[in-house]
Amino acid sequence: MQEAIQELLQAKPDLVLIPGELTKDGELVCHNSVHTYLEQLIQAGIKVRVITGNHDIFNPHSYQYDGATQTRVANIGPAQFRSIYYDCRYSDALYTDPNSLSYVSEPLPNLWLIAIDCCKYDSVIDTIYTAGAIRPGTMKWVLDRMAEAALKGKTVFGMMHHGLVEQFSEKHVTFPGGLYVQTDKRGIRQLDVPIWNIKLGWNKKVAIRIYRVGGRNVIKCVEKRSGHYG
């Protein structure tokens, strides 16, 4: 992790986006550790924006290990996520979604970042949800923000953890949790907005572009670099 931070400090980008999976299994101690690393970037004037991955919140697999001994440790909920990464998201948020951890910020002039929390998590059920869905209220909130961005002439960049389209044939069979089959994409397709690029966290090096063709939006995967999970 420190090696990656050093590379970023040397490259000095304006903005670093992290679309989820900040930890392996959502341990509180790991979230605090990750934020300590990210603070180095923030203190160097590099803006950092994060959003949730499906392993980050209410993960029942948060353990510490001492040889063969496995001991359960504290994980975090949505409020703690918001608090820990406050300076990576909410400190300059233009809007926050009341239905999720989604937010809008303007990290660069005239660039609206819409970070979408599309993960499913539950504080009661002792299981981890690999797949997820954009909540109906969150989808309406996203579409409203995109419409406002279009009226104000803002460039929109989206960020979320899971994919809207398959990066390869039969992905829905091989990795059924990697797509949001429960997400109604009709609203995105019909919305009259400028080009919208989406950075995704699932399977790492993936980007989606949404653009206008014949009066409707087309959703297309435009970057497919190999990467492994974990």
Distances in whole angstroms, Cα of residue 38 to Cα of each of 30, 49, 110, 139: 12, 10, 24, 29
Q: Is the pLDDT of residue 217 over 90?
A: no
Strand (E) or helix (H) holding 112? strand 111-115
> Which of 127-136, 156-165, 190-199 comes out lowest in average pLDDT?
190-199
Give me the pLDDT at residue 192, please: 46
Q: pLDDT of 38-91, one tens digit each?
A: 999 999 999 999 999 888 999 999 999 999 899 999 999 999 999 999 999 778
The Cα–Cα gap between 48 and 16 comes to 5
pLDDT at 214: 55
pTM of this structure: 0.80
Could you say which architecture CATH assigns to the domain 2-224?
Answer: 4-Layer Sandwich (3.60)
Local confidence band at 223 (pLDDT 50, 70, 90 cut-offs):
very low
The tens digit of pLDDT for each residue in 79-101 reads 999 999 999 977 889 999 999 99
The Cα–Cα gap between 172 and 34 comes to 31
Asked if residue 201 lies in contact with residue 115, where contact means CB atoms within 8 angstroms, the answer is no
Q: Which residue has the tokens 């999720």?
A: 100
What does each C-alpha distance from 39 to 49, 83, 86 come to in angstroms? Answer: 12, 14, 11
Q: Which of the two residues, 150 and 199, has the higher pLDDT score?
A: 150
In this predicted structure, what is the pLDDT of residue 184? 47
Most confident of 95-104, 107-116, 135-144, 183-192: 95-104
